Structure 1
Amino acid sequence: MSMKISTIQVWVHDQDAALEFWTKKVGFQVTADVTVAELGNFRWLTVGPAGQPDVSLSLMAVPGQPVMDEQTRDQVLEVVGKGFANTVFLTTDDVDGDYARMTALGVEFVEKPEDRPYGRDCGFRDPSGNHIRLSQLNPDFAG
C-alpha cells in the first residue's frame, strides 16, 4: 500500500496569527497559502518543517455558516482555546536548544523539558490554544 499522511488539520482562531507563530516562532515554512474565491474566499493555509516537504499542518479557520451553525462554531472555538481539540506531536534532536530558542522568541511553554521513559519532553500551546508536545526521543523508543 502506498498511502501516506500528507496534511493534518488544526483549528485556529486567526490564520494570520497562527501563520506568524508557526513560521516565526516554531520555524516551519509555508507550504501553501491559497485563497479560493469560488468557495467564499476560503483560505487553504499550510505549514511544515523544512526537512519534511511531504508533511504539513493545515491551519484551518473555524468556519461559520453554512458549514457550522454559530453555536457549534462557538463550541469548537472554546474547546480549541482550552487545548482539548487535538495535540500536535513534534520531535527534535535538541529539545533543550529548541526550548531555549522558542522561549526567547516568546513561546509560552506549559511544561519545561523533563526526562520521561521515552525521552526528553516539554509542552507548549499555540495562540489558538492547541496543545503541542516537543520531544527528543530515546533512540530505542518505537513510538
Structure 2
Amino acid sequence: MKSMKVILREDVKNLGKKGDIVEVSEGHGRNYLIPRGLAVPVTRGVLKEASLIADGRAKKEERLLKNARELASRLDGMTVTLPARAGEGGKLYGAVTSRDIAAALERLLGRKVDKKKIELPEPIKALGVFPVQIRLHPGVQVEIRVNVVAADS
C-alpha cells in the first residue's frame, strides 16, 4: 500500500494538529484530506510554511504559559468574598457557581478569568469558606478561597 506525506492545514481528529507533517495512505490523502483543504502534499515551500506555523504555535504556547504563571502568582492564597441571599441555617437561595466566582475575580483583578478553568465540582449552596481550584494552564493551577457571606437584603 502506497503512502504519502502531507502537512495538515487544520486540526484533524486522530491524525494531528495544524502544521503537523503526517504520513497517510495515498488514497486518504488524495481523496479526502487534500480536496477538503485539510492538508497539502509536502514540498520544500510547504515545509518552510509548516516550520513557521510550528514556531508561531510554540511562541503562543510560551506566552500563554507566562501569562498563566503571572496570574497564578496574583491569585495564590487569595480569598474572594461573595455576598449571597441566605435563609435560616445558612442555606442559600440559589447557589454560587463558577460564573459568579469568575465575575468576582474579574472585578478584583481587572482581568478576565475563564469560568471553565474554575474547578467547582458542584455549586456552593451554603454560607462559609470553600477552597476552589483554578486550572489556568496544563501544569499551572492555583487554589483560592471563596467566602460566601449573607447579603444584606
| TM-score of the two chains, using structure 2 as the length reference | 0.27
The structure richer in helix per residue is: 2
| TM-score of the two chains, using structure 1 as the length reference | 0.29
